[in-house]
Amino acid sequence: MSGDQWSVEAEFSGAELGDRRRVRRLMELARALDEKPDASYPDATVTEAGLEGAYRLLGNEAVSADGILAGHYEQTVERACNEEWVVAVHDTTPFQFSGESRSGLGKLYGKGNGFFGHFTLLVAPGEIRRPLGVLGLQTVVRKKLRGNATRRPPETVSESVRWQRGVELAEQRVNGRCSLIHVTDREGDSYELWAAMVVSRHRFVIRNRIDRLLVDEAKLRLSDVLANAKTVVERTVELSARKEAKIVFTRKQHPPRRARVAKLALSAVSVEIRRPNIAPKHLPESLVINVVRVREVETHGENQPVEWMLATTEPIDTAEDLGRIVDAYRARWVIEEYFKAIKTGCAFEKRQLERMHTLLNALAVFIPIAWRLLLLRTLARDASEEPASAALTDTQLAVLCATAKPPLPLTLTVRDAMLAVARLGGHIKNNGEPGWAVLGRGFQKLLAREEGWIAARAARSDQS
């Protein structure tokens, strides 16, 4: 994908806001925030008129998040159509806001008010796991918490429909133009969700949370069958580090770990799962599902071993099949980085907006910008040998080559370009890989230089 395919016009001009003047205002705001993604609205918009226009747009009751994102959704599908298949990662994250209670917000764990955002992020297959864009956003607002808030699981019965709704929205928006494999963590382990996707012939890879009963007179469970399954293939994968979570429930589900290369043994079985007694009776009495067991071997007692049970509609006939299923699930971690791009790169939770409607519209503006930040960071780390045009426009490359110190090589790779951008932001090579903050500062400077470059070229053209 060429860097020229990114532009504010491409991602926002297709917005459905009911008035072209609103779309123009949206693109003005998006350009300002794209140049300074973590800046406050007064700093980003510069003028009082620009600031007033931004607040008026975000607070307009006729403007919706889906309307703002209509163009980005279409561009995401266009990017996905270049792939044979793509991973659709579904996950939920909390957005917490400090200060006085704001209109329309709900309760979060512990202190603070906010809401939960449920996202669908498309990711291209392969080792790079290139993010393609967001294809769905839903929100959950909790007005009341019962019991101990720090122990309550992040999903309630009334909220569980968001998983199925996310799948349906994604499939509607791609409209058969590309093939999706829907991926969720353990929160997506729902018989109702599985049944809906099997009936609709949607592809999925979902990590099991429940050791389910099988259709078997001996009342066997998944773990009983998988324990006797032979290892088909062993492979090594890089596991990222994970910090200790603040919430007790999350900490138990996702314990902290150090980054490491893990040796995994893969086995698989095809099973018929019994409908749970608590499931609605209109659902099928059973489902035939393939399940892949992933277990870490040779941990030497230093780490809690990784073990996953992955329910899937994908074939499990060969070692290559199992590898593709595991790789599809590993793409789920991209959405965790995406949430960091929104919260840290775009500083969304620091926005001083007073109403849920306004905050949601602001989030919609940041969603494509956060995707762009994530794409650039991903390419900087994982696509080191791709041409730099995969990340930057021709004009940005010209500016970077003309101003970079030390001079850049003639054949510029993505990594060369990204490190040059990071140096603009103050990155020092000995400090390791550039993070969100330094890349953000570097791109802010590059975009400012690009603006001057374009203005100078226009002035020369007028003189001639």
DSSP class per residue in 297-320: E--TTSSPPPEEEEEESS--SSHH
* Bridge partners of residue 93, in order along the sequence: 117
pLDDT by residue (tens digit) across 184-223?
999 999 999 999 999 999 999 999 999 999 998 778 999 9
Answer yes or no: are the C-beta atoms of 116 and 143 closer than 8 Å.
no
- Taking residues 370-379, what's their average pLDDT? 85
Q: Are residues 15 and 118 in the same domain?
A: no
Do the domain assignments include residue 220?
yes
pLDDT of residue 78: 95
d(CA 307, CA 100): 43
- In this predicted structure, what is the pLDDT of residue 434? 75
Is 138 found in the same domain as 223? yes
Which residues, other chains included, contact 143 with Cβ-Cβ below 8 Å and sequence gap of 6+?
Answer: 106, 107
In the predicted model, what is the mean pLDDT of the chain? 84
Question: What single-letter DSSP state applies at residue 4?
Answer: G
Pairing label, strands 131-140, 113-123: antiparallel
Q: Does the residue 136 lie in any domain?
A: yes
Closest to 344 measured CA to CA, from 429, 454, 440, 209: 440
**326 and 360, same structural domain?**
no
Shared domain for 96 and 148, answered yes or no, is yes
439 or 373, greater pLDDT: 373
Residue 417 sits in a domain whose CATH number is: 1.10.740.10
Q: In the structure, what pLDDT confidence band is assigned to residue 253 with cuts at 50, 70 and 90?
A: low
Q: Are 240 and 331 in contact (CB under 8 A)?
A: no
Q: Is the pLDDT of residue 369 over 80?
A: yes
What kind and span of H or E run contains 200?
Answer: none
Look at strands 286-297 and 307-312 and give their pairing. antiparallel
What's the token pair of residue 71? 């163009």
99: its two tokens:
């200060």
Q: Is residue 441 part of a domain?
A: yes
Residue 342 neighbours by CB under 8 Å, 6+ apart: 348, 363, 366, 367, 370
Taking each continuous run of H as one helix and of E as one strand, the counts in the chain are 15, 10
**387: in domain:** yes
Does residue 377 lie in a domain region? Answer: no
Q: What is the mean pLDDT of residues 14-34?
A: 85
For the chain, the residue count is: 464
Q: Do 215 and 337 reside in the same domain of the chain?
A: yes
Cβ-proximal residues to 161 (8 Å cutoff; 6+ apart), any chain: none
Residue 253, phi then psi, degrees to nearest 5: -75, -35
Cβ pair 90, 138 in contact under 8 A: no
Note down the domain range covering 46. 3-63+355-368
For residue 231, what is the DSSP state?
Answer: P
Residue 281: is its pLDDT beyond 60?
yes
Residue 187 per-residue DSSP state: G
Residue 78 lies in a domain: no
Amino acid letter, residue 412 = L
> How far is the CA of 24 from the CAs of 27, 29, 283, 355, in angstroms?
5, 9, 47, 23
What's the confidence (pLDDT) of residue 406?
82
Do residues 29 and 161 share a domain?
Answer: no
pLDDT the model gives residue 371? 92
Report the range out of 161-175, 230-244, 291-305, 427-441 with the highest average pLDDT.
Answer: 161-175
Count the Cβ atoms, other than its own, within 10 Å of residue 385: 8
Quick check: is 35 in a domain? yes
Q: Are residues 32 and 140 in the same domain?
A: no
- List, for residues 141-191, the tens digit of each pLDDT value: 887 655 544 333 444 445 678 999 999 999 999 999 999 999 999 999 999
Same domain, 344 and 361: no
Phi-psi region at 347: left, alpha or beta (left = phi > 0; alpha = psi -120 to 50)? left
Cα 97 from Cα 103, distance rounded (Å): 12
Number of domains making up the chain: 3
Buried b (16+ CB within 10 A) or exposed e, 222-252: beebbeeeeebbeeebebeeeeeeebebeee
Task: Let me know whether 190 and 221 are in one domain.
Answer: yes
Asked if residue 328 and residue 199 are part of one domain, the reply reads yes
Query: Cis (ω within 30 of 0) for the bond into 406?
Result: yes
The rounded distance, in Å, linking the Cα atoms of 176 and 179 is 7
What CATH number is associated with residue 237?
3.90.350.10
User: CA 327, 133, 154 angle in degrees (round to 5)?
Assistant: 70
Q: Which range is most confident: 75-89, 212-226, 350-364?
A: 75-89
User: What are the backbone angles phi and psi of residue 26, rounded to the nearest 5°?
Assistant: -60, -45
Between 426 and 78, residue with greater pLDDT:
78
Give the residue-averaged pLDDT of 4-24: 81
Q: How confident is the model at residue 3 (pLDDT cuts 50, 70, 90)?
A: very low
Is 449 found in the same domain as 405? yes
With respect to residue 73, please indicate whether it lies within any of the assigned structural domains.
no
Rounded to the nearest 5 degrees, what angle is found at the Cα of 29, between the Cα atoms of 27 and 34? 90
Of these ranges, 95-104, 213-222, 237-246, the one predicted with the greatest mean pLDDT is 213-222
